[in-house]
Structure 1
Amino acid sequence: MTPADVAMRARVLALLPQAEAEWLARQIPPPPEPIKEKRREAVRAAIALFGTMPPTVAAKALSRAWDTYLIECWPGDRERDGVPLASSVLRRALFRLTMLSDGRSLGWRRIHDLASDTA
């Protein structure tokens, strides 16, 4: 849903009586969270798995783990449309990151920027 769609939705709801507007607002799903925000949250969750490492070290470790995941696990997970049930938390996080990044990894600097709110 584009910003114009969100604005149009708000204008239409404002024209209706309050009861009908509230009912219609419940029927229409809210606009989806932008993919960038979802990816930022997924990066932060994955970085948190590296514990108390300094931010740059954690970003580099996540980048290496992500590249390894893409080579070794992503082809099977993509074909299966998910990770095996007995997968590690890190593998699940890497699957989610890869889905949000169209099958590509991010460099460690970009990961660091997303995790530290400088992006």
Structure 2
Amino acid sequence: MQTCLVVDDSRVVRRAARGILEKHGFAVEEAADGAQALHRCREALPDLVLLDWNMPVMDGIEFLRHARREFGPDRPPIMLCTTEASLERIVEALGGGAQEYIMKPFDEAILTGKLATLGLLPAEAP
């Protein structure tokens, strides 16, 4: 079973993401900030991190930088999931090592489409 760490300071967002991910066969862990997420990754590296940008303690970009230094450029795949919509922010996240970027609010189709792009779910038939 594939694992996903959902990192967001909003319990509602974590719950929504959990519901979609579990429906598609993922085991889901949660963290409320980047520091908790880094600790969880050190314990057991997930197959995917779904990461918010704006959080207390350690924000998403700081977590991304730590994760890439500590675990390497590709593992785990990190998908930013945020309200940060400017091109500069998207470039910063992807340049910092995120593999994908989705905007809040997201729905099942958006999230599963990105998971398929990452090779974590089968692609939908046309």
TM range (shorter): under 0.3
Q: Which one has a bigger Cα radius of gyration?
A: 1
- TM-score, normalization: structure 2? 0.26
Q: Which has the higher strand share?
A: 2
State the TM-score, normalizing by the size of structure 1.
Answer: 0.27
More helix by proportion, 1 or 2?
Answer: 1
